[in-house]
Chains A and B, each alone.
Chain A
Amino acid sequence: RKEVEQDPGPFNVPEGATVAFNCTYSNSASQSFFWYRQDCRKEPKLLMSVYSSGNEDGRFTAQLNRASQYISLLIRDSKLSDSATYLCVVNKEDTGRRALTFGSGTRLQVQP
């Protein structure tokens, strides 16, 4: 089983739609969680951190479910500019060892 799993998509949605992505992780000791966005031929950039209580940033809502070991990203009122690949990132502090694990990403295509 992969440490971090995402549905690769693509998710093709019309403008204005609400879309949600899930990401599951296997290490129950994981401590912090992020969603990154990657545009075509660009580097990943932080979209938002994911907090235990859930958090919202404008049209974006992130949730964490530790019991079931998944995080989610909800995008409301999709814009054409939301088209990108969304990467789930899980981090566990472990001295001297790589702690950061990326999912392979979910591709979103918002259509006019």
Chain B
Amino acid sequence: GAGVSQSPSNKVTEKGKDVELRCDPISGHTALYWYRQSLGQGLEFLIYFQGNSAPDKSGLPSDRFSAERTGGSVSTLTIQRTQQEDSAVYLCASSFTGSGNTIYFGEGSWLTVV
């Protein structure tokens, strides 16, 4: 597709279960971001991938969170042993390399932990 694609769009999981969220960036985009947004709150940075560089993981809130990006394209965000406070929308974004390039967001994966 033409835009950033995320799946699943909605996920309800039980506390303690693991979840995987997928992001398929725009073709050719080397930069990929994961953000989290709780209802009514601002965007919380999680992790940033840029080409073959080591990812910037400085935003991951705990060691239950991890992400990888295979082949410089698709990324997976994994949350282990989910907690209720993990409930949020997880937004993926991508862009070309370079600070002036527009960042495009996917529609997000809405996670509810019950």
Contact = CB atoms under 8 A, between A and B. Distances in A.
A84 to B, nearest CB: 14
Interface residues of B, number: 25
A96 B54 contact: yes
Contacts of A99: 48, 99
Contacts, number: 60
A22 interface: no
A89 B103 contact: yes
A61 interface: no
Interface string A69-112: 00000000000000000010101110111111111110000000
Listed from nearest, the 9 A-B pairs whose CB atoms lie closest are: A104-B42, A93-B99, A96-B53, A43-B105, A98-B48, A31-B99, A98-B56, A32-B100, A91-B99
Interface of B: 33, 35, 41-43, 45, 48, 50, 53-54, 56, 58-59, 89, 91, 98-100, 102-108
